[in-house]
């Protein structure tokens, strides 16, 4: 049976998972695809927005996604340790 901290961590994990899905859906897709990666397309880097890429909303969403994924991973490890110790 789950203890109170395990229930709380499980609830937080569910909230983070739903929030991450929403954040990923808000991000723009990369139109270059695999062909642009192989060919070395640099159209985004030639523009003004490409030079200030770290300040855009897309970059902020990507950074926040990485933070949320790290929190999710750490909480899963903590929950696993708590269930093993019981």
pLDDT tops 60 at residue 42: no
Q: Give Rg (Cα) of the chain.
A: 19
Mean pLDDT computed over every residue of the chain: 82
Assessment of whether the complete model's pTM goes beyond 0.85 = no
Range of the structural domain that residue 60 is part of:
4-27+34-85
**And the tokens for 53?**
């890429």
| Assigned token pair, 83 | 């269930």
Confidence of residue 78 (pLDDT cuts 50, 70, 90): very high
Domain count, the chain: 1
């Amino acid at each position: 049976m789950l203890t109170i901290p395990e229930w709380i961590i499980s609830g937080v994990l569910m909230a983070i998972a739903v929030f991450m899905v929403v954040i990923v859906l808000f991000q723009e897709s990369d139109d270059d695809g695999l062909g642009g990666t192989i060919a070395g397309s640099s159209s985004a880097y030639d523009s003004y927005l490409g030079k200030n890429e770290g300040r855009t909303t897309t970059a902020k969403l990507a950074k926040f996604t990485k933070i949320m994924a790290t929190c999710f991973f750490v909480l899963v490890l903590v929950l696993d340790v708590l269930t093993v110790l019981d």
